[in-house]
Amino acid sequence: MASITEYYAGKSVLITGATGFMGKVLVEKLLWSCPDVKALYILVRPKAGQTMEQRVSHMMKCKLFDRVREANPDFHKKIIPISSELTQPGLSISPEDVEKLSACINIVFHCAATIRFDEPLKHALQLNVIATQELLSLAQRMHHLEAFIHISTAYANCNRKHIDEVIYPPPVEPKKLIESLEWMDDGIVQDITPRLIGDRPNTYTYTKALAEYVVQQEQDKLNIGIIRPSIVGASWQEPFPGWIDNFNGPSGVFIAAGKGILRTMRANNDAVADLIPVDVVVNLTLAVGWYTAVKTYCLYPFKAFSKLVLCLKRNPLEQAFRRPNANITSNYLINQYWILVSHKFPALIYDLFLRLCGQKPQMMRIFNRLHKAIGLLEYFSSQDWEWNSDNISMLMSQLTPEDRTMFNFDVRQLNWPEYIENYCIGTKKYVLNEDMSDIPAARQHLRKLRNIRYTFNTLLVVFIWRVFIARSQMARNIWYFVVNLCFKFLSYFRASSTLTN
Ligand SMILES: CCCCC/C=C\C/C=C\CCCCCCCC(=O)SCCNC(=O)CCNC(=O)[C@H](O)C(C)(C)COP(=O)(O)OP(=O)(O)OC[C@H]1O[C@@H](n2cnc3c(N)ncnc32)[C@H](O)[C@@H]1OP(=O)(O)O
Ligand SMILES: NC(=O)C1=CN([C@@H]2O[C@H](COP(=O)(O)OP(=O)(O)OC[C@H]3O[C@@H](n4cnc5c(N)ncnc54)[C@H](OP(=O)(O)O)[C@@H]3O)[C@@H](O)[C@H]2O)C=CC1
């Protein structure tokens, strides 16, 4: 069998979602590790006042492509943008482009999706399911297609505790759902959405489950591969450690914790976030593309997480609201207590301070948005899943030693503390565009915040003393009793440690 690099040589690849987080890393890796790939056709829409061409040219200037640009300044010639709005009939691809793609594409990577947890059902269905169906129809017209790789999510079946590498029966027949929703107005759809999604937490996981079923329906006609990544995070090694460009999932959590805004979050202390670096997912995707040309199956990855707050203190973000000190608890009431004490109370005080300075209050608004975002993650951070991943081991055993290094997806080699450190630095550098040279000033700012906290706490104690203790005999008696008790305990402790010495 040809190696992965050899396999992609001379091949024309179609990628949807190439402007997204994962899509960009996939394009970069293909250009870097498979330099003889013939062409990368990417489906792109105009967006935010930018034409398709402007968006692609902007994307290729991104730091992510530095090593590819250095090796081959003409790399952009291999990237062929095709105008496409995936929510439109026929994906709004022109007939000429359909002809072109039908004649030359060998492999399709379908990454595009809406990954928002609060997406209205109709839109999520349109993009995640109907567009997938349309792409499959287009794929059937491709004369030289060898593999169709669909990127799903490990949480498509999160209503189950143990998830096998199989396509489960869909919660509803997608065709029937599409037909029923067609005539309903948005208000009705919104009302019935909770009933439809049932025991799934959001429209995202629900529509991704339907999409898997839609893809599976074509398995007799196409060579299909389905990949189910879990929580995709910053890069581990490639093209450099810590590459990240969005606020999704853990990135938003890291940033909010780093800025000292997020102090408490509901999560299961025993379970860990099922984090997987984006370069690992991309390596796996390319290996699956190579293998699917021969066989069909689906895959998923794994779990880990650790000492975030220490990393955030070592690499502080600029202008933090408070010192990073985020805690997780699985207890609802404890979490609500800390939200009140550590989120809402400081926000209120700060907004009061802003009002006194004649400025517009803003902290409460920021916290309300944070609570909405964190609330949407809670379902995933509070539970644990078991995933079967036999296919990953099988695929690994099929790779040549060179491919195992070049397209490494063996996360057992990953040093998690080092990865999390690079992830934090990545969010600082690439998401927030903060300069590493500002770290001493950011540390100084944290020290200032610590001094403000000490001063505030001292004032609070003096205030409490004045209001309660100095005015009430009973409070004074309790106070003396507590102080006396502490004193006795200290004397006993000192005496017993002298004896043992
Ligand atoms: C204390 C230690 C705890 C450690 C915990 C560690 C890990 C986290 C645990 C669990 C994570 C679970 C994640 C499960 C992932 C499942 C995997 C998948 O399959 S898909 C990928 C996941 N998808 C997402 O994460 C999308 C979630 N986001 C949304 O649904 C929406 O963005 C939203 C949160 C509902 C917010 O919507 P809203 O309309 O209010 O805002 P916008 O999205 O338009 O954004 C506006 C603005 O805000 C920025 N933004 C967005 N999200 C965040 C955020 N979390 N924190 C800060 N800022 C955020 C966004 O970039 C926009 O900025 P701008 O206007 O400048 O462009
Ligand atoms: N990120 C994660 O943690 C995980 C992601 N996944 C899956 O991986 C895939 C990629 O995710 P990720 O890269 O993070 O997502 P992004 O949101 O970063 O990228 C989504 C891509 O889809 C494109 N897209 C969205 N709507 C349309 C549309 N109407 N027409 C054309 N293109 C559109 C976007 O294009 P545009 O730039 O024009 O908006 C973008 O390129 C998805 O299928 C997702 O379900 C799975 C597990 C975890």
Report the CATH number that the domain containing residue 168 is assigned in CATH. Answer: 3.40.50.720
Evaluated on CA atoms 439, 441, 445, 446, the torsion sign reads positive
Same domain for 176 and 103, yes or no, is yes
Name the residue with the closest Cα to ligand 1, atom 39. Answer: 118
Distance 365 CA to ligand 2 centre (A): 27
Same domain, 397 and 493: no
Which residue among 111, 117, 302, 329 is best mutated to probe the pocket of ligand 1, counting the most ligand atoms within 8 A of its Cβ?
A: 117
pTM: 0.88
Residue 368 resides in a domain: no
The Cα–Cα gap between 222 and 136 comes to 9
Closest CA to 405 of 275, 228, 279, 274: 279
* 119 in the same domain as 53: yes
Residue 265 forms part of a structural domain:
no
Q: Copy the structure tokens of residue 284.
A: 């796996």
Q: What backbone torsions phi and psi does residue 342 show, to the nearest 5 degrees?
A: -100, -20
Cα-based distances in Å from 211 to 73, 145, 267: 38, 20, 29
pLDDT computed for residue 296 by the predictor: 44
Answer left, alpha or beta for residue 326, where phi above 0 means left and psi between -120 and 50 means alpha.
beta
90 assigned to some structural domain: yes
- Specify whether 405 is located in the same domain as 464: no
Is the CB–ligand 2 distance for residue 47 below 6 Å?
Answer: yes
Q: Does residue 298 sit in the same domain as residue 445?
A: no
Cβ neighbours for 265, distance < 8 A, ≥ 6 positions apart: 253, 326, 327, 328, 329, 335, 374, 377, 378, 381
pLDDT given at position 383 = 87
Shared domain for 391 and 489, answered yes or no, is: no
**Which residues in the chain show pLDDT less than 70?**
272, 294-306, 496-501
Structural tokens at position 279: 């370069």
The SS3 call for residue 307 is coil
CA distances from 322 to 85, 235, 351, 420, 452 (A): 42, 28, 14, 21, 10
Whether omega before 81 lies within 30 degrees of 0, making that bond cis, reads no
Verify that 472 and 391 share a domain, yes or no: no
Query: Do 286 and 139 lie in a common domain?
Result: yes
Q: Which residue has the tokens 């040279």?
A: 437
**Amino acid 389: pLDDT:** 85
- Write the ipTM: 0.91
Per-residue pLDDT, 500: 53
Q: Which of 19, 25, 50 to mutate to test the pocket of ligand 2 (most atoms within 8 A of CB)?
A: 19
Q: Are residues 455 and 409 in the same domain?
A: no
Query: Phi, psi at residue 67, to the nearest 5°?
Result: -70, -35
Nearest Cα to Cα of residue 389 among 229, 234, 270, 236: 229
- pLDDT of 487: 85
As a whole number of angstroms, the distance between CA 392 and CA 410 comes to 9
pLDDT (tens digit per residue) in 437-469: 999 999 999 999 999 989 988 998 888 888 877
- Cα–ligand 2 centroid distance for 389 (angstroms): 24
| Residue 304: predicted pLDDT | 37
pLDDT in tens, 338-373: 999 999 999 999 999 999 999 999 999 999 999 999
Quick one: which atom of ligand 1 is closest to the CA of 373?
A: 34
Contact 336, 312 (CB under 8 A): no
For 5, 326, 464, 465, the CA distances from 471, given in Å and listed in that order, are: 80, 37, 10, 9
Q: Which domain holds residue 202?
A: 4-243+273-303+385-414
Shortest-distance Cα residue to atom 9 of ligand 1: 381
**Domain endpoint, select from 366, 397, 414:** 414
Is any ligand 2 atom within 6 A of the Cβ of residue 399?
no
Asked if residue 361 is part of any domain, the answer here is no
In a domain? residue 429: no
281 alpha carbon, closest ligand: 2
* In a domain? residue 353: no
Domain boundary among 414, 429, 456: 414
Q: Is the CB of 311 under 6 A from ligand 1?
A: no
- State the residue for tokens 């004490």: 341
End of a domain among 369, 396, 414? 414
Q: Is the residue at 343 inside a domain?
A: no
Per the listing, tokens 């640009």 go with 69
Whether 61 and 152 map to the same domain: the answer is yes
pLDDT of residue 72: 95
Q: Which residues of 196-218 are buried (b: 16+ CB within 10 A; e: fewer)?
A: bbeebbbbbbbbbbbbbbbbbbb
- For residue 350, being part of any structural domain is answered with no
Q: What span, in angstroms and rounded, lies between the C-alpha atoms of 485 and 477?
A: 12
Total tally of structural domains belonging to the chain: 2
Which ligand approaches the C-alpha of residue 262 most closely?
A: 1
Residues 457 and 410 in one domain: no
* 406 and 488 part of one domain: no
